[in-house]
Amino acid sequence: MSAPAIAAPGRPSLRIRGTSYPVLLPTLRDPRLHLAAVIVTLQVLGQTAFDFQLSIAQILVSLVTCAVLEVAIALRRQKVLMWPASALLTGNGVAFVLRVPGTEHGDWWSMNGWWLFAGTAAVGLLSKYVITFRGRHIFNPSNIGLVLCFVLFGPERADPLPFWWGPMSVWLALALVLIVGGGFAILARLHLTPIAVGFWLTFAAGIAVLAATGHEMTAAWHLGPIGGRELWWTLVTSPEVLVFLFFMITDPRTIPETRRGRLAYAVSVGLVAPLLIAPWTSEFSAKLAVLGSLTIVCAAGPLLVLAGGRAPFARIVAWTGGRTRRVQLATVGVLALAAGGAVAVAGVLSSAAADVPAALASGRVPHVTVASGKGVAAIDDATARMKPMRQCDRDFAVRRRTGRDALERGRKARCTHHERPATRNDRR
């Protein structure tokens, strides 16, 4: 969410080198403060209950980067000193979603990948002032920054927050209540609830069609591919998706101004997301697809506005608007069937995670042959069987009986497929 800084009479001011600058502070009724309270509470829960791999230093880097840029730009352009409420939301959004591999939970002051947090936050914040259309910024700041970061650097250096935060618990229930309850409370005040509902219903229907085609997804926190009802439930109830629909796609400065335009916007984002998820089978790709759906729809907005002034497009819009309600509903029904068919075709044509060799998909260790060569010694059958790889699973099971830690489950899966414990002959 964002809003222009407007100096009002009677506001406090600060004199710097002989020049008086009005000081703009948010009020307690400012919805940006309420949204900030929700996100900060989720950050605290993430650190205390969900073991977020995110340091306090990384959060501060994002916040300070956005705040400094916003204050400096407002001071130069508008000659005011303002509390950077919108910028802090952008920085908090970046820090909430972005993860840098190698960051350990509990290492509160880790500066691992600090430049990624600073760069992503800066790009997102500056996009508000650089990429505009008719006086409004086109993209949600944190969204465009995150999408560019993940596309440019990939999962090896930058990874989004996982879809799955852990099994149902008191803390997860509290987080969901906070997201949904806080989201509806804020959106009701801004009259933006239809956007969140429209997106979720469309997204849920699209993922249902995708799951019905046999589409599957792999994730570090799950042993084996995720498909069917489990895939649908994981995505439509994911805390990350809920944060996305309540607090990212509802930015008042990037959504259409009309009621019908907002509904079309929400449905479009909800439809594009499954279409982008369909060709890929990794969680990273699915998370990037959800975030990228908003980027694509926001980019298409100005193009549709410009096309609306052209004769062919204008005649189509006029014809649709002049028809009876029955014709309008029939048109919507045809478009819905076409959209569902597109998702189904994309799901069928995509390479399912089940296409991975059966030995890997079922958890069985495939036969591996090591050819001898320079610096490589052949492994005979006796050595390979000295300690079966299944022992690795048993070791992890003893350490983590509850299975609550998603990262441990991810390491367990990787160990099953890629590692073999060292043997006595290896040490020789």
Q: Lowest-confidence range among 112-116, 158-162, 299-303?
A: 299-303
Q: pTM to 2 decimals?
A: 0.76
Kind of pairing, strands 81-82 and 19-24?
parallel
My answer on whether 351 and 398 are in the same domain is no
The pLDDT of residue 397: 41
My answer on whether 137 and 205 are in the same domain is no
Enclosing domain of residue 329: 188-356
pLDDT per residue as tens digits for the range 120-146: 999 999 999 999 998 899 999 999 999
My answer on whether 258 and 338 are in the same domain is yes
Instruction: Give the count of domains, the chain.
Output: 3
Q: Lowest-confidence range among 35-44, 301-310, 363-372, 391-400?
A: 391-400
The answer, yes or no, to whether residue 230 has pLDDT greater than 90, is: yes
pLDDT per residue as tens digits for the range 235-250: 999 999 999 999 999 9
The pLDDT of residue 227: 93
My answer on whether 143 and 118 are in the same domain is yes
3-state SS, residue 78: coil
pLDDT per residue as tens digits for the range 166-202: 999 999 999 999 999 999 999 999 999 999 999 999 9
Whole-angstrom CA distances from 84 to 155, 194, 205, 238 are: 31, 28, 38, 30
The answer, yes or no, to whether residue 39 has pLDDT greater than 90, is: yes
My answer on whether 394 and 326 are in the same domain is no
My answer on whether 276 and 344 are in the same domain is yes
My answer on whether 193 and 339 are in the same domain is yes
The pLDDT of residue 343: 77
% of the chain at pLDDT higher than 90: 57
Q: What's the average model confidence in pLDDT over 384-410?
A: 45
The pLDDT of residue 47: 94
My answer on whether 234 and 305 are in the same domain is yes
The answer, yes or no, to whether residue 356 has pLDDT greater than 50, is: no
How does residue 419 score in pLDDT terms, banded at 50, 70 and 90? very low
How does residue 412 score in pLDDT terms, banded at 50, 70 and 90? low
The pLDDT of residue 357: 46
My answer on whether 395 and 420 are in the same domain is yes
Q: Lowest-confidence range among 226-240, 286-300, 378-392?
A: 378-392
Do the Cβ atoms of 384 and 370 come closer than 8 Å? no
The answer, yes or no, to whether residue 50 has pLDDT greater than 50, is: yes
In a domain, 166, yes or no: no
How does residue 373 score in pLDDT terms, banded at 50, 70 and 90? low
In a domain, 171, yes or no: no
The pLDDT of residue 164: 93
pLDDT per residue as tens digits for the range 52-104: 999 999 999 999 999 999 999 999 888 888 899 999 999 999 999 999 999 99
Do the Cβ atoms of 296 and 144 come closer than 8 Å? no
Q: Which amino acid is at 318?
A: A
Q: What's the average model confidence in pLDDT over 363-380?
A: 55
The pLDDT of residue 426: 45
Q: Lowest-confidence range among 19-23, 176-180, 187-191, 326-330?
A: 326-330
Rounded to an integer, what distance in angstroms lies between the CA atom of residue 343 and that of residue 137?
30
How does residue 371 score in pLDDT terms, banded at 50, 70 and 90? low
Do the Cβ atoms of 11 and 82 come closer than 8 Å? no
Kind of pairing, strands 136-137 and 132-133?
antiparallel
Rounded to an integer, what distance in angstroms lies between the CA atom of residue 345 and that of residue 221?
28
The pLDDT of residue 372: 59
Residue 111 makes CB contacts below 8 A (sequence gap 6+) with: 55, 57, 58, 61
- Domain-ending residue, one of 356, 390, 406: 356
In a domain, 177, yes or no: no
